[in-house]
Amino acid sequence: MSFLTLTDLTKSFGANTVVRDFNMDIGRGEFVSFLGPSGCGKTTVLRMVAGFEQPSSGTIRVDGKDVTGLPANRRRVGMVFQAYALFPNMTVAGNVGFGLKIAGEPRPAIAARVAEMLALIGLDHLGDRYPWQLSGGQQQRVALARALAPRPDLLLLDEPLSALDAKVRVSLRSDIRAIQRELGITAIFVTHDQEEALSISDRVVVMHQGRADQIGTPAEIYNRPATRFVASFVGHLNTFDARVDSDASIAFAGRRFPPLAQLRLLASGAVPGPVSGPVAGPVPDLVPGPVTVALRPEALSLRPRSQADLAIEGRVVQSDFLGSVIRARVDVDGQPVAVDMFNQIDGRLPQPGDATPLYFSPDDLLVLPK
């Protein structure tokens, strides 16, 4: 059953519409990430859910109640910002207990809840310190504890990790997910970092020009993108100019392949409303003419993995050893193609100048309208 329901949300600032007909149901205890480039509308949706912005049209329901017109202080929402937003003149304990104090909770109850929250974030020994005495990661943990202390119905996180260094980000995002699961709270996480979104979310919303191009599990978003934008924004793509002939055969990279039942035709742009899974069509739906085909770097291999594999010919230009992964750049019919493969202890690093086939499964080939 849906806990948070967003129906036909639209937000305009003057003549500029930044969110268009946004619809989504989010279940109780679900962790959903809004992913997209700057200006796509993801933070505006979050701010409308929080009550900081009023929708131009549409409704917001929490647990069946219409909260569209309620001010932020009556929505039982916990908010974590990118810039921490801690009170510099208050101790860690004072910051965490601030919302409870404003709500009129008695001092013993505040002290108990603050102790509980500080233990939850692993900073119970730093309650007497001030924000300036903490690292960036510690400050963001305090901001998270402050947001959770009043027991909100929703936890909203607006790019909370973008100001932190890479190692702290990885650690803290795992902690945020673990705390969210432990409390069972419904959470929305806004980010432009696809690794963050894919690694910690139950579902991901990929936003583009104010719309939800696709809503799905991380695996669906990455492996079966629904639109050309999702395919190009999430992960890396090798794209090739191609042509579909009248018999549904397809030619690219100097090769012609017979009709392939596994080909997936993606929409050319944003679709009108959220999509779960690929906008797929069998080969007869492919209209003869120019198209673009795409393959992920990890979908390509220097060795066949199945009898059904297809191959294109290439020549190694560069090979980089990255520890667990070897990333090769291969020239295929005059264009650079990225190939990612796992490092193997007894494996030979591809050498510049090596001629090699690149094998791939028909399942991994995406076809985008020109």
Domain 2-221: CATH superfamily, name plus number: P-loop containing nucleotide triphosphate hydrolases (3.40.50.300)
User: CB of 80 within 8 A of CB of 160?
Assistant: yes
| Helix H or strand E segment including 313 | strand 310-321
Q: State the Cα–Cα distance between residues 274 and 304, nearest whole angstrom.
A: 37
What is the Cα–Cα distance from 92 to 121, expressed in whole angstroms? Answer: 12
Question: Could you read off the pLDDT of 92-115 as tens digits, one per residue?
Answer: 999 999 999 999 999 999 999 999
Q: Rounded to an integer, what distance in angstroms lies between the CA atom of residue 59 and that of residue 54?
A: 10
- d(C-alpha 50, C-alpha 72), whole Å: 6
The CA distance from 137 to 119, in Å, is: 16
Start-end of H helices in 17-66: 42-50
The Cα-based distances of 37 to 9, 57, 82, 156, 224 in angstroms read 19, 24, 16, 18, 20
Start-to-end CA distance of the chain, whole Å, equals 40
Q: Under 8 Å CB-to-CB from 234, ≥6 apart: which residues?
A: 35, 194, 198, 206, 221, 222, 225
The three-class DSSP label of residue 218 is: helix
Task: Enter the tokens of residue 26.
Answer: 């989010």
H helix or E strand, kind and range, residue 221: helix 218-223
Q: Are 232 and 366 in contact (CB under 8 A)?
A: no
Query: Which residues are within 8 A (CB) of 50 and not within 5 positions of it... i.e. 6 or more apart?
Result: 72, 75, 77, 79, 156
pLDDT digits (tens), the chain, 370 positions: 799 999 999 999 999 999 999 999 999 999 999 999 999 999 999 999 999 999 999 999 999 999 999 999 999 999 999 888 899 999 999 999 999 999 999 999 999 999 999 999 999 999 999 999 999 999 999 999 999 999 999 999 999 998 888 889 999 999 999 999 999 999 999 999 999 999 999 999 999 999 999 999 999 999 888 888 999 899 999 999 999 898 888 999 999 998 876 666 665 443 334 444 433 333 346 788 898 899 999 999 999 999 989 999 999 999 999 888 999 999 999 999 999 999 887 777 889 999 999 999 998 988 876 5
Which residue ranges does the chain devote to CATH 2.40.50.100?
224-369
Q: Where in the chain is the domain with CATH 3.40.50.300?
A: 2-221
Least Cα distance to 210 among 66, 355, 18, 60 occurs for 18
pTM of the entire predicted model: 0.88
| Residue pLDDT, tens place only, 208-242 | 999 999 999 999 999 888 888 999 899 999 999 99
In sequence order, the β-bridge partners of residue 342 are 325
Looking at CATH, the fold of the domain delimited by 224-369 is given as: OB fold (Dihydrolipoamide Acetyltransferase, E2P) (2.40.50)
CA dihedral 254, 355, 342, 265 (to 10 degrees): 0
Summarize pLDDT for 268-308 with one digit per residue, the tens. Answer: 443 334 444 433 333 346 788 898 899 999 999 999 999 98
